[in-house]
């Protein structure tokens, strides 16, 4: 009989994937990562070149330094709370992120977030490949007079794919804890030291911003990065020993790195007087301020872990769509797709960077309300245990159909997000504006975007799903939530 304290054993919604490497519930004996291991992993994943670029955007888009640091602190805390909670569910249940949504949205309903997750992870993989290859090419040209973006793209792709094929436990124990995380931390500390002691901090602190970006919109931009890991966090925390230490490691590990490198990016723009905040521009500034290209090389090596996580989790999500997909084949396919995107970005780099801010906001508009639905369902309705809904005959409905009301709550949160901060391609933003201001004659954007978008979208999805679920549970006794006994299995 499966016990509530160890629900990964005998998941009725997971039987079809239990034997798949990297996909099925992790047996208790294989949950070997401690809270320290998890903290190292998420601290490492929270720092990198792309995080610095986003921190730089806060200043470039109009914030002064004190306001930027306030937005970084508030947004990091708000983003890390849901990250830690989903990680807690993953460590308790021992299953990947997309599988957590099966009892919430139904098995078929979980295919939609799986597809969206694959799309966003291919996007992140492509961005990571692009940034690493661009900086590596820049370094080789400056140091050796040799330039070949395409060669470096191949080297980066092969290295990151090899890490993804190794799996999380090996990467954490053999790579991060022995070498990668400590090198990255040392490099980050050195860059921080050089930036702080080469700048007039008093002058930077008092320098006014241009006022182009509101505080709450800046908070949304900061929230976007930790929130983008929500569908992935359980993929790694399922290998952790159940308990509070893994949850604390997730929260404080990611919080530390996110605040550090967001703030470092903002400081770097001001200290170096950067006008070009593309990866190439930031790379130049780091090379000058940090005392050479060796530091940038070490930072570049540390960036491989983000790409590893993107590739690995995209492969796991693809297996939620079909249990017949071999894990290794999925890893290679995702890497190839990332190379394809990095190729396009390499051909049109200006378009690539211009799209980065909108890409982050678009991710938030999808995954913030999705988390609102999940936290209401798992922590409020199901009371911390992943249990499939069953019909009157004892059959798991999550296996047979899509859960409509949770999907409606998710959609409602997405609509509120887009109404508050319309984001995406220009044709999409134009269509959203026509619907609200033209057809519905509603104020657009909602409250002039002054309230941001993440908190209204989360609250809408959370409250709507919690309210509807409680009403349905009270009015339809046949939709009882119960864990199957050994005889039912």
DSSP 154-223: HHHHHHHHHHHHH-HHHIIIIIIIIIIHHHHHHHHHHHHHHHHHHS-HHHHHHPPP---S-HHHHHHHHH
Asked, for residue 424, whether it belongs to a domain, the answer is: yes
Do both 132 and 190 map to the same domain?
Answer: yes
Q: Is the pLDDT of residue 488 over 60?
A: no
Share of the chain above pLDDT 70, in %: 81
Per-residue pLDDT for 418 more than 60?
Answer: yes
By residue range, what is the domain housing residue 179?
32-354
Tell me how far apart the alpha carbons of residues 70 and 73 are, in angstroms, rounded to a whole number: 5
Rounded distance between C-alpha atoms, residue 106 and residue 413, angstroms: 19
* Mean pLDDT of all residues in 184-206: 83
The predicted pLDDT at position 393 comes to 39
Which distant-in-sequence residues (6+ apart) come within 8 Å of 391 by Cβ?
Answer: 397, 478, 479
Q: What is the C-alpha to C-alpha distance for residues 288 and 292, in angstroms, rounded to an integer?
A: 6
User: So what's the pLDDT on residue 455?
Assistant: 85
On whether the CB atoms of residues 400 and 409 are closer than 8 A, the answer is no
Residue 42 lies inside a defined structural domain of this protein: yes
3-state secondary structure 87-153: HHHHHHHCCCHHHHCHHHHCCCCCHHHHHHHHHHHHHHHHHHHHHHHHHHHHHHHHHHCCCCHHHHH
The answer to whether 202 and 270 are in contact (CB under 8 A) is no
Q: List the single range of 62-66, 197-201, 251-255, 407-411 with lowest mean pLDDT.
A: 197-201
Q: Is the pLDDT of residue 6 over 50?
A: no
Residue at 16 is within a domain: no
- 286 touches 198 (CB < 8 A): no
Question: Which of the four pLDDT bands, split at 50, 70 and 90, describes residue 480?
Answer: very low
Question: Higher confidence at residue 377 or residue 211?
Answer: 377
Q: Which position has the token pair 């521009």?
A: 281
376: pLDDT strictly greater than 90: yes
| Calpha distance 401→463 (Å, rounded) | 23
Asked whether residue 13 is domain-assigned, the answer is no
Tally of CA atoms within 13 A in the half-sphere of 428 that contains its CB: 11
Q: How many residues does the chain have?
A: 489
Residue 89's pLDDT is 93
- For residue 288, pLDDT over 90 is answered with no
Same domain, 343 and 487: no
Query: Residue 143's CB: how many other CB atoms inside 10 A?
Result: 12
Residues 245 and 345 in one domain: yes
User: Based on the domain organization, do 198 and 242 belong to the same domain?
Assistant: yes
Do 162 and 280 belong to one domain?
A: yes
Segment 365-391 mean pLDDT: 80
Cis peptide before 365 (omega within 30 of 0): no
End position of a domain, from candidates 354, 384, 400: 354
Ranges 35-39, 93-97, 146-150, 418-422, most confident: 35-39
Residues 6+ apart with CB under 8 A from 457: 364, 365, 368, 369, 372, 413, 414, 416, 417, 420
When pLDDT is cut at 50, 70 and 90, the band that residue 179 belongs to is confident
Contacts (Cβ under 8 Å, ≥6 apart) of 33:
41, 168, 169, 172, 236, 237, 239, 240, 241, 246
Whether 11 is in a domain gets the answer no
Q: With b meaning 16 or more CB within 10 Å and e meaning fewer, what string describes 177-193?
A: beebbeebbebbeebbe
Average pLDDT over residues 93-110: 88
Residue 13 pLDDT: 39
Residue 147 lies in a domain: yes
* Least confident interval from 42-46, 290-294, 406-410: 290-294
pLDDT at 291 over 80: no
332 and 413 share a domain?
Answer: no
Give tens-digit pLDDT for 231-256.
899 999 999 987 789 999 999 999 99
Residue 216 reports pLDDT greater than 80? yes
Q: Say how many domains are in the chain.
A: 2
CATH of the domain at 250: 1.10.4160.10
User: Do 155 and 284 fall within a single domain?
Assistant: yes
Contacts of 431 (CB under 8 A, 6+ apart): none
Please tell me whether residues 312 and 378 are part of one structural domain.
no
The reported pTM is: 0.84
pLDDT for residue 162 is more than 60: yes
Residues 338 and 406 in one domain: no
- Are both 343 and 365 inside the same structural domain? no
Residue 11 predicted with pLDDT over 50: no
Per the domain annotation, does 22 fall within a domain?
no
**Which of 15, 18, 23 minimizes the C-alpha distance to 315?**
23
Q: Is residue 367 part of a domain?
A: yes
* Mean pLDDT of the residues in the chain: 81
pLDDT for 25: 81
Distance in angstroms (rounded) separating the CA atoms of residues 200 and 210:
20
Look up residue 175 and give its two tokens.
Answer: 């790579």
Last residue of one domain, picked from the residues 305, 331, 354: 354
pLDDT of residue 227: 86
**Residue 477: DSSP 8-state:** T
Question: What tens digit of pLDDT does each residue of 335-359 get?
Answer: 999 999 899 888 876 665 566 656 7
- Whether residue 111 is predicted with pLDDT greater than 60 in this model: the reply is yes
Same domain, 250 and 143: yes
Same domain, 271 and 391: no
Domain boundary, last residue among 329, 354, 379:
354
């Amino acid at each position: 009989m499966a016990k509530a304290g160890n629900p990964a054993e005998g998941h009725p919604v997971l039987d079809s994937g239990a034997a798949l490497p990297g996909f099925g519930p992790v047996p208790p004996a294989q949950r070997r990562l401690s809270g320290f291991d998890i903290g190292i992993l998420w601290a490492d994943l929270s720092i990198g070149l792309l995080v610095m670029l986003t921190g730089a955007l806060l200043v470039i888009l109009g914030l002064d330094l004190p306001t930027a640091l306030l937005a970084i602190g508030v947004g990091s805390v708000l983003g890390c709370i849901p990250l830690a909670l989903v990680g807690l569910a993953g460590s308790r249940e021992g299953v990947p992120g997309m599988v957590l949504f099966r009892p919430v949205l139904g098995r078929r309903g979980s295919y939609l977030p799986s597809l969206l997750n694959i799309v966003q992870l291919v996007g992140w993989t492509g961005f990571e490949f692009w940034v690493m290859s661009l900086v590596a090419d820049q370094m080789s040209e400056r140091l050796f007079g040799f330039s070949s973006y395409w060669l470096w793209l191949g080297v980066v792709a092969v290295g990151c794919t090899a890490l993804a094929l190794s799996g999380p436990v090996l990467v954490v124990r053999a790579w991060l804890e022995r070498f990668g995380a400590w090198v990255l931390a040392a490099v980050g500390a050195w860059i921080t030291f050089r930036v702080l002691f080469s700048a007039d901090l008093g002058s930077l602190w008092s320098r006014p911003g241009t006022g182009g970006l509101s505080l709450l919109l800046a908070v949304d931009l900061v929230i976007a990065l930790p929130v983008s890991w929500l569908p992935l966090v359980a993929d790694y925390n399922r290998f952790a020993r159940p308990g509070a230490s893994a949850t604390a490691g997730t929260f404080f590990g990611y919080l530390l790195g996110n605040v550090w490198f967001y703030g470092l990016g903002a400081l770097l723009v001001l200290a170096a007087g950067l006008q070009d905040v593309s990866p190439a521009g930031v790379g130049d500034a780091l090379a000058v301020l940090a005392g050479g290209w060796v530091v940038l090389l070490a930072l570049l090596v540390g960036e491989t872990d983000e790409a590893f996580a993107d590739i690995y989790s995209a492969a796991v999500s693809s297996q939620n769509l079909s249990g017949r997909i071999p894990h290794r084949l999925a890893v290679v396919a995702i890497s190839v797709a990332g190379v394809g995107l990095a190729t396009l970005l390499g051909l049109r780099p200006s378009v690539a960077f211009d799209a980065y801010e909108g890409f982050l906001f678009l991710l938030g508009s999808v995954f913030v309300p999705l988390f609102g639905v999940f936290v209401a369902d798992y922590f409020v309705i199901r009371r911390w245990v992943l249990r499939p809904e069953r019909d009157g005959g004892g059959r798991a409905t999550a296996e047979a159909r899509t859960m409509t009301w949770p999907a409606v709550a998710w959609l409602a949160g997405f609509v509120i997000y887009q109404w508050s901060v319309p984001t995406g391609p220009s044709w999409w933003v134009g269509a959203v504006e026509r619907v609200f201001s033209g057809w519905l004659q509603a104020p657009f954007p909602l409250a002039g975007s002054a309230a941001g978008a993440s908190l209204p979208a989360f609250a809408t999805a959370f409250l709507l799903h919690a309210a509807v679920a409680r009403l349905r549970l009270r009015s339809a006794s046949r939709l009882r939530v119960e864990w199957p006994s050994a005889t039912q299995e």
